[in-house]
């Protein structure tokens, strides 16, 4: 179980010298001392070792990330995120496979790639949202449609059961007179007459409901 990560300290002033890509100047004692700091964090959750590592790498990470195109604030935030990842993952560090600088800058590079992927995904979602058709139906149109439907329902309820059935078959289901006659078991002429009378009655009721 990892010890709680130490509070991220403010980054020291950035090194004004031109940094070399992925090359980290070592403190007195050389790269072995940097490796030892990470091992101390892994072994003892050594906060002093982390503070020394942070002072050394934070400004260099910020400079490296800024060169990838990040604004200064974002570069500093990602540098701090990198150092917190170093604290959490120190037990995975193997000096036989990579030195401290290579290992830490690889973490920073991977975090930068993850950030780019998230930004691209967000851009894709925004583009999809912009391409979706916008429903420009006005509130007034929706209200008129709802009122019209309410009037039709009220008019249908005022019809006889037989006339309401005729209207539903002819008007809503758009069935031809022959299909209505067959479904109701009545002659075709009777079906035509009932449809005409039912629709006429419906029109009168709708006029009354305006």
Q: Residue ranges of the domains in the chain?
A: 31-129, 152-208
Contacts of the segment 187-192: beta carbons below 8 A, 24+ positions apart? 191/166
Q: What is the DSSP letter of 23?
A: B
Q: Could you tell me the pLDDT band of residue 141, with boundaries at 50, 70 and 90?
A: low
Scanning the structure block, which residue is given the tokens 């890509």?
21
Q: What mean pLDDT is reported for the chain?
A: 75
2 has a pLDDT exceeding 70: no
Closest to 155 in 3D by CA, of 180, 144, 191, 147: 147
- Between 157 and 87, name the one with better pLDDT: 87
The whole-number pLDDT of residue 28 equals 36
The whole-number pLDDT of residue 146 equals 56
For the chain, the C-alpha Rg in angstroms (whole number) is 38
Closest to 182 in 3D by CA, of 193, 173, 191: 191
Q: Say if residues 192 and 177 touch (Cβ distance below 8 Å).
A: yes
Q: What is the rounded CA–CA span in Å between residue 43 and residue 81?
A: 21
Max Cα-Cα span within the chain: 108
Per-range mean pLDDT, top range of 20-24, 101-105, 169-173: 101-105
Summarised one tens digit per residue, pLDDT across range 162-203 is 888 887 787 667 788 888 888 888 898 888 888 888 877 777
As a CATH number, domain 31-129 is 1.10.1740.10
Q: What are the tokens at 91?
A: 């037990």
- CATH top class, domain 152-208: mainly alpha
Buried b (16+ CB within 10 A) or exposed e, 79-110: bbbbbbbbbeebeebeeeeebbbebbbebbee
Percent of the chain with pLDDT over 90: 31
Average confidence (pLDDT) over 9-24: 38
């Amino acid at each position: 179980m990892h010890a709680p990560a130490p509070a991220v300290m403010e980054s020291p002033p950035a090194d004004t010298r031109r940094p070399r890509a992925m090359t980290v100047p070592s403190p007195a004692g050389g790269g072995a001392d940097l490796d030892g700091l990470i091992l101390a964090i892994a072994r003892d959750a050594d906060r002093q070792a982390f503070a020394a590592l942070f002072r050394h790498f934070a400004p260099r990470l910020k400079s490296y990330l800024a060169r990838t195109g990040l604004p200064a604030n974002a570069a500093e935030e990602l540098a701090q995120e990198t150092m917190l990842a170093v604290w959490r993952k120190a037990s995975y560090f193997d000096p036989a496979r990579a030195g401290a600088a290579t290992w830490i800058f690889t973490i920073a590079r991977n975090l930068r790639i993850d950030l780019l992927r998230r930004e691209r995904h967000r851009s894709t979602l925004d583009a999809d949202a912009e391409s979706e058709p916008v429903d420009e139906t006005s509130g007034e149109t929706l209200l008129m449609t709802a009122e019209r439907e309410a009037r039709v329902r009220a008019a249908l309820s005022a019809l006889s059961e037989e006339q309401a059935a005729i209207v539903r078959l002819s008007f809503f289901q758009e069935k031809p007179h022959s299909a209505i006659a067959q479904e109701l078991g009545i002659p075709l002429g009777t079906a035509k007459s009932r449809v005409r009378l039912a629709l006429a009655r419906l029109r009168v009721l709708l006029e009354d409901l305006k």
